[in-house]
Structure 1
Amino acid sequence: MKKYIKNLITLINYERDAEIDLMTREISTMSGQKREELGRAINKVKGKSLGKELGLQIVQFGRSEVIDTEISVGDMVLVSTDNPLRSDLTGTVTEKGARFIKVAFDKRVPKWAIKKKVRLDLYANDITFRRMEDNLNHLSLKGKNALEYILNERNPKKNRDVPYIAYIDENLNDSQKEAIENALSCENFFLIHGPFGTGKTRTLVELISQETRQGHKVLATAESNAAVDNILERLMDNKKLTLTRLGHPQRVSKHNITQTLAYKAENHKLNKKIKKIHKKIDNMIEKRKVHTKPTPQYRRGYGDYDILHMASKGKGGRGISSDKMKSMAKWIEINQEIDEAHDEIKRIENRMIKDIIDSSDVILATNSSSALEAIARVKFDVAIIDEASQATIPSVLIPIAKAHRFILAGDHKQLPPTIISDRAGALSKTLFEELIRMYPFKSQLLDIQYRMNSLLMKFPNEEFYNNGLKSDSSVDDINIRDILDSHQ
């Protein structure tokens, strides 16, 4: 186990280095103009602060020339004025138009990013790699159990008996129902093999709803934000569910923004208290300005306690007058009050987050975002992971490590995860692929195809699915003309 985990960490570091090297090499060897021609940079744009949104600073960068770029909403960009690799200012794209692009920053934006013309570069973000590595270094028992199945160190338990299920979606087919029943009754894990067009998301939405009916707390994840949003949008039709979406609010589709943790925290009843404390802090900062800040040149070796003690005695020392000593002491006292106020804000924020998470039936996130501190101590009954055949083992282990059981959904007959590094090729072998090969009885094929008629489906069905798929009668007579007509 230790050797296997150590190898996984080595592989993700190879991949991290390859991604960063690819980006830095391109930035250092290509002109900004060439990078823009490739769609990976935007030059000569000027910033305009738009204020705060969900706790993030929003800046709109624009120019008179049309912006034609591959940089899209949710991407991370590096902001610079000269050499991009000397800058550490990064933000997330929230919106783009013909001549502007909006970026959200989670820290204070320096004046040069607003006053000068800047360059935006598509940027590689290594936070996902750091989360995977941290999870592997501190892998929970459930995470290790998942690896034991593919290392032949543990055998999966048989499923429990399935209780009667009153389906919410009455139009599910038999293979979808069988997948749900097996997933609900599994003791450890189950695999839902969902080729494209077989209603995999629909099946997962029903499964999640059924799990919550049993009083289970569900962690629902996927490799991409788009897949998580897709599940979230469909779950929102079930008005009985309380849902919370983790992750950067600017990477969430606008339609789902009200379900994000950031939005809920912003609108929580305790947030009024936080705003009052922030006003109090602003007032204290103004009061602090009239007093002498105890910088090294004024301290002359005195620590905070020494200054406070000397001031209480009305004394000066080391060339510092008693008035100067009192002024520094007052600055320290106010500063301590400011620190205490910030601590109080943190405590209230933690209470808000705990309240939101505890009251949620389903927490939704990308695999990477399930590593966030907000759910670090939450015990989930089940992790349901979509796109599992497109996620590396270190990626899916993040949500798996947090739950008693796990359900993987995907299709190992389609493209595997994209791996850049030549040395990290082994990462393309997924947990889904390994488990379905070793334990085929722990899987269910969704066998009704709703997108292609039998003629269109014939080749992939024979080549990849051993003729196990059937096309639904609703698509029997579909042809290109029908599709064209529907888009007119």
Structure 2
Amino acid sequence: MKATDISSFATNQLSLLNNELQAELAETQLLTSTHAPVVLQRAGLALLNLAVNSQRTGLGGKTLLELGIDPAVGGGELHEHGFRVGDICAVAEQPKGAEKKKERESKEKEGVEGVVTKVQKEAITVALDKEEVDIPGGKLWLYELKQEIPWNDPSLNDSQKEAIRFTLATREVSLIHGPPGTGKTHTLIELILQLLARNQRILVCGPSNISVDNIVERLSSHKGIPMVRLGHPARLLPAVLNHSLEVLTKTSDAADIVRDIRAEMDAKQASIRKTRTGRERKGIYNEIRELRKEFRQREGRVVKELLRTSKVVVSTLHGAGSFHLKNEEFDVVIVDEASQALEAQCWIPIVMVGSVGKLVLAGDHLQLPPTIKSGNLKGEKPEGKGVKDPKKKAEKKIKGTEEARDGVEKLSIAGDETPTPGNSKDNDPPSSSSSASLETTLFDRLLALHGPTIKRMLTTQYRMHETIMAFPSAALYDSKLQAADSVRARLLKDLPYA
């Protein structure tokens, strides 16, 4: 059999995928134009006999419609359907059975498009795309629209777009595998913008301040995003200080309610020097104590309001355990550099905040794992240092999908192994198995439990010459990496400062 040219294969696949997308769009249009609404409802693609329960203005001036079963037909729970948060849909006046095709199409054109933002048993909420719209009268129906995603960044490559499409479509967990130079953070920024367009609230975390500050800095170039960065200002990059929670509590409009009491406290502090007796000083200290109590209460209200109105909250993994987030709810939690974080760290934003709808982990499990110091207690070389074949090491950690499904215990957690008589000594230091366990990240564990079906890999890299890329691509990534045209043949002498 003749070997297939990779470039030709990729081009052919892209063409086929585009044809599939166009066919899916055409199918949606055909369904709504040729099938009765009741048929679409049976298929889970539509909801009939709806009425507007409430209409209000959401973030960004979007009109939010809450739709429920029309009381005229009995009210109650919605019919079984397949709508999820983030689905693109349309709301239109429900056609009557006797209407002709042209009349039905006319009503559909008068309908309004939007995005599903909340799904309940008895109601569904839609954020309309346009700020000023005329809501159709009479009974309404809601039907799904399959449209191509409008990208904010036209420079995204096909693997980045596929990773975003996949993540938006998954219900609970997805992994974005980003080898070096493939634009993982670039992809996450577009993903966050797409989630915001669907009116979803996002918690973004990472193992280090640098990793999350990088995301804040890139997001801040997109105006109008209500965003707050948790963490001490001294640890943040200067470029992101304006988004710091501590800075916002002093500079935002909401800070006016604490500004006056802060000034009064400062004045009282300055007046202490002018006192002549201990009785006067004691009186001032009592006043300051009461002012501090009032200040903390007011500041707490400011912080709560800032967090409530922020659609994007950014913090380190440890910072996500802050009491500020204890009762906060998020539609999506994104963990960047997840393969360099301890598994226990990754659980903090999942279990410590109020509630989480979906988890997205981004990283590269074939690169260096988290730094573990406890593996060198006996003088042995820590696992992960100087390993000749990192891919074999990663495969050994993951242990294969089937093995993991047969027994999760094969991915040992520290303390899982119970010593048996005769094989342990009281004075022995902890076993190196704890190191191996800590090197098993949440990214590894999820990949082992569910296999590659929950992962999408970024395949175009923008960092290395094609010849340099060839070895890591073959050794670690099954020869799936491709060099972007901008770096494929780039040499040092071609650089502007060479």
> TM-score range with shorter-chain normalisation?
0.5 to 0.7
Mapped contact 1:284–1:338 kept (Cα < 8 A): no
In structure 2, do the counterparts of structure 1 residues 331 and 451 end up closer, same or farther at CA, with 3 Å as the change threshold? closer
2:460 to 439, 444, 448: 448
- Residue equivalent to 1:202: 186
- Equivalent position of 2:493 in the other structure: 481
Mapped partners of 2:284, 2:167: distance in 1: 58
**Residues of 2 paired with 1:487 and 1:254: CA distance?**
28
**Partners of 1:245 and 1:363 within 8 A in 2:** yes
Distance 1:410 1:347, change over 3 A: same
Q: Does 1:394 align with 2:338?
A: no
How far apart are residue 468 of structure 1 and its match?
A: 1.4
Alignment correspondent of 1:250: 234
| Paired amino acid for 1:256 | V
In the TM superposition, 1:54-453 aligns within 5 A as 164-268=148-252, 269-279=256-266, 281-282=268-269, 290-292=277-279, 335-401=285-351, 402=353, 403-422=356-375, 423=430, 424-425=434-435, 426-439=437-450, 440-453=452-465
Distance 1:198 1:208 in 2: 18
TM superposition shift of 1:362: 0.7
Question: Per the alignment, do residues 334 and 380 of structure 1 end up closer, same or farther by CA in structure 2, a change over 3 Å counting?
Answer: same
8 Å Cα contact 1:162-1:184 kept in structure 2: no
Task: Provide Cα deviations, 1:101-158, integer angstroms capped at 9, x if missing partner.
Answer: xxxxxxxxxxxxxxxxxxxxxxxxxxxxxxxxxxxxxxxxxxxxxxxxxxxxxxxxxx
Q: Go from structure 1 to structure 2 and tell me whether the alpha carbon gap of 1:393 and 1:204 turns closer, same or farther (over 3 Å shift).
A: same
CA distance in 2, matches of 1:163, 1:374: 38
Going from structure 1 to structure 2, the CA distance change for 1:481 and 1:226 (only over 3 Å counts) comes to same
Letter in 2 for 1:481: K
Specify whether residues 395 and 455 from structure 1 end up closer, same or farther in structure 2 by C-alpha distance, changes over 3 A only: same
Per-residue deviation at 1:276? 2.7
Contact 1:281 1:341 (8 Å CA) reproduced: no
1:405–1:287 CA distance, 2 compared to 1 (3 A): farther
Shift of 1:486: 3.1
Q: TM-score, normalised by structure 2?
A: 0.55
C-alpha distance in 1, partners of 2:462/2:439?
29
Q: Give CA deviations for 1:56-83 in whole Å, capped at 9, x if unaligned.
A: xxxxxxxxxxxxxxxxxxxxxxxxxxxx
**Contact persistence 2:333–2:350 (CA under 8 A):** yes
Pairwise CA distance, 1:199 = 0.8
**Offset of residue 452 of structure 1:** 1.6
- What letter is aligned with 1:266? K
- TM-score scaled by length of structure 1: 0.56
Query: Deviation of residue 463 (structure 1)?
Result: 0.6
- 1:58 is aligned to none
Cα pair 1:217 1:361 within 8 Å, conserved: yes
Which amino acid in the other structure matches residue 182 of structure 2? T
What secondary structure is seen at the aligned counterpart in 1 of 2:214?
A: helix
SS at match of 2:260: helix
Question: Counterpart in 2 of 1:309?
Answer: none
Say if 1:414 and 1:190 are closer, same or farther in 2 by CA, change over 3 A: same
Measured in 2, the distance between the counterparts of 1:470 and 1:289 equals 78
Which amino acid in the other structure matches residue 199 of structure 1? Answer: G
Q: What SS is found at the alignment partner of 1:417?
A: coil
Aligned residues: 290
Give the conservation status (yes or no) of the 8 Å contact 1:162–1:181: no
Shift of 1:164: 4.2
- Unaligned stretches of 5+ in structure 1? 1-159, 293-329
Please give the alpha-carbon distance, in whole angstroms, between the structure 2 residues aligned to 1:241 and 1:289.
Answer: 53
SS at match of 1:474: coil
Give the Cα separation in 2 of the matches to 1:429 and 1:289. Answer: 65
User: Larger relative CO (CA 8 A, sep 6+): 1 or 2?
Assistant: 1
**Matched-pair contact (CA < 8 Å) for 1:162–1:182:** no
8 Å Cα contact 2:272-2:281 kept in structure 1: no
CA distance in 1, matches of 2:335, 2:277: 56
Is contact 1:389-1:431 (8 Å) kept?
yes
Q: CA deviation at 1:270?
A: 2.8
Work out the percentage of aligned pairs sharing the same amino acid: 36
C-alpha contact (below 8 Å) 1:223/1:387 kept by paired residues: yes
Paired with 2:192 and 2:485, the residues of 1 have a C-alpha distance of 27
Distance 2:445 2:315 in 1: 24
Please tell me the residue identity of whatever aligns with 2:190. Answer: E
The answer to whether the 8 Å contact 1:178/1:444 transfers is yes
By how many angstroms is 1:333 displaced?
6.5
Is the Cα–Cα contact under 8 Å of residues 389 and 417 in structure 1 kept in the other structure? Answer: yes
Cα distance in 1 between the residues matched to 2:148 and 2:370:
37
